[in-house]
Amino acid sequence: MLCGLGTNLGSTGRLDEEGVERALAALKRFRLLAKQAGADEVFTLATAAARDAENGPAFVRDAKRILEQDIHVLTGAEEAEFAAYGIVCGFDKPEGISADMGGGSVEFMSLDRQPVGKGVTLPLGGLRLQDDAGGDVTSARKIAKKALSDVSVLKERAGETFYAVGGTWRAMGRLHMAQRKYPLHVMHNYEISTDEALKLCKLLIMKQGAPVHGISGVSANRRPLLPFGAVLLEQIIKVMKPSKVVFSALGVREGYLYCRLPAKVKKADPLITAAEEMAVLRARSPAHARELVGFTQHAFAAFGLKETGREKRFRKAACLFADITWRSHPDYRGAQALNIISNANIYAVDHPGRAYLALASYYRHEGLNPNQGEPPLLEVAGDRLAERSKLLGALFRVGYLFSAAMPGVLPHLRFEEEDGEIVLNVPKDLADLEGERPEKRLRGLAEVSGKTVRLAIS
């Protein structure tokens, strides 16, 4: 809940009294909700505003009384580190700079798949910057420019990825989505070029307080802070010159919880873990979904398709997701798969990857020439992943028809390349599976792959 604790903190040195009242009332509600949810343990963190304000200790004391537990008041270094771990647990091998813009401060941390070195914290949060600048964006730009000139870590990681954490920057990303009519409404891992980011910053700075197309998607409480978030991002880009700006839905909260996980759990792949759980919850046979991974791997090799490590992860996840809408009416399985998978609460997958996962299941259910036309997500996937999603969907259509979604069959089916043709070898004890429908599915596979595909009983 955006309570505005740090409103006027720069000029008064104190937490906003109205913000304090709103925050304490929210904590009473959260305490009861946690009890109703059966939470075994609750972790409460306080960030820059409570740390820096003259009346911060009094607020923390009142919050402790309401929650009946201790509150961890984070140092600036801890805030930077936990925000960085939020990036670590939400992205695949992140490298660059993470920056968490809150109401009172912004924290920077260097990333090489893990946080590196010490974090940097500056009093450039949205509310603080707005207050220190007297609400004037020109003054805010000067303040940000001066403060960032000595942040060496930004220059050291020049040309790499900038990971933007915090509600104000997420709101900017949401606005950018609305303006370009982006077909995937998932904020996490949404990325834009530095040129696009600078254009967005310039627009918000110039239009301070004026209506902007797409602003209805941003909460009214957040809108006044957008120009100041834009000022800070603009100045960061000028110093760091990142290759791109990527928005994160994860930050201090998720990073703190990630740090409390056992080492073995930390090492797990977030995407594959989520896909495995989805298969267990919704597929007819998780074992069959796992067999589908090997089946498609051998098929890709037979078709001469090489995969990067990133693409192999995506294909594995797509196989695990492939049967999650089987309980739906056949007429809606494809559309539901497209919607559920593309918008799933999954991490460590970029937007083209999300589109690939969803499209593979979509083509499995809808066929390779869907009646309603091609879905807009093809644009998000990009040409390479879009074409591979069709091939993977065609392989799913073959595999499920032969196996009835049950384990034990796919390991005995194997695609092989023979004299320029692709042959699906089927053992004699499964020969009765040959028929009109399997032949039709193989013709579809041939069409999408551009190769001759036939069945052979061996």
Task: Please tell me the predicted confidence (pLDDT) of residue 218.
Answer: 85
Domain boundary among 259, 280, 311: 259
Pick from 48-57, 95-104, 209-218: least confident:
209-218
Give, for 192, the enclosing helix (H) or strand (E).
strand 190-193
> Is residue 91 domain-shared with residue 236, that is, in the same domain?
yes
Helix (H/G/I), strand (E/B), else coil: 233: helix
The domain that holds 451 is classified in CATH as: 1.10.3210.10
Q: What dihedral do alpha carbons 354, 358, 359, 363 form, nearest 10°?
A: 170
| Residue 126 forms part of a structural domain | yes
Report the distance separating Cα 151 and Cα 328, nearest Å: 54
Nearest to 111 by CA among 92, 130, 124: 92
Q: Which domain holds residue 180?
A: 76-259
| Residue 400 forms part of a structural domain | yes
Nearest to 143 by CA among 168, 106, 102, 196: 106
Task: Please tell me the predicted confidence (pLDDT) of residue 216.
Answer: 83
Task: Please tell me the predicted confidence (pLDDT) of residue 383.
Answer: 96
Q: What is the CA radius of gyration of the chain?
A: 26
Task: Please tell me the predicted confidence (pLDDT) of residue 353.
Answer: 98
Kindly tell me if the per-residue pLDDT of 349 is higher than 90. yes
> Is residue 323 domain-shared with residue 235, that is, in the same domain?
no
Residue with tokens 């390349």: 417
> Is residue 26 domain-shared with residue 129, that is, in the same domain?
no
Kindly tell me if the per-residue pLDDT of 340 is higher than 90. yes
Cβ–Cβ < 8 Å for 396, 360: yes
Kindly tell me if the per-residue pLDDT of 168 is higher than 80. yes
The domain that holds 22 is classified in CATH as: 3.30.420.40
Task: Please tell me the predicted confidence (pLDDT) of residue 17.
Answer: 94
Task: Please tell me the predicted confidence (pLDDT) of residue 7.
Answer: 86
Q: How would you classify the pairing of strands 106-112 and 95-101? A: antiparallel
Cβ contacts of 308-312, under 8 Å, gap ≥ 24 = 310/92, 310/353, 311/385, 311/388
> Is residue 440 domain-shared with residue 315, that is, in the same domain?
yes
Average the pLDDT over 162-175 and give the result.
Answer: 96
CA distances from 234 to 168, 237, 353, 402 (A): 14, 5, 28, 56
Domain boundary among 238, 259, 280: 259
Domain boundary among 209, 239, 259: 259
Tokens of 435: 């028929």
> Is residue 278 domain-shared with residue 246, that is, in the same domain?
no
> Is residue 69 domain-shared with residue 80, that is, in the same domain?
no
Cβ contacts of 2-5, under 8 Å, gap ≥ 24 = 2/167, 2/219, 2/221, 2/222, 4/103, 4/127, 4/221, 5/49, 5/50, 5/53, 5/59, 5/103, 5/104
Reported confidence tier of residue 219, pLDDT bands at 50, 70, 90:
confident
Report the distance separating Cα 23 and Cα 208, nearest Å: 28
Cβ–Cβ < 8 Å for 321, 343: no
> Is residue 68 domain-shared with residue 89, that is, in the same domain?
no
> Is residue 133 domain-shared with residue 230, that is, in the same domain?
yes
Task: Please tell me the predicted confidence (pLDDT) of residue 222.
Answer: 87
> Is residue 131 domain-shared with residue 212, that is, in the same domain?
yes
| Total of domains in the chain | 3
Which of left, alpha, beta for 450 (phi over 0: left; psi -120 to 50: alpha)?
left
| Residue 412 forms part of a structural domain | yes
Kindly tell me if the per-residue pLDDT of 373 is higher than 80. no
> Is residue 225 domain-shared with residue 114, that is, in the same domain?
yes
Task: Please tell me the predicted confidence (pLDDT) of residue 220.
Answer: 84
pLDDT > 70: percent of the chain: 100
Q: Which residue has the higher pLDDT, 373 or 241?
A: 241
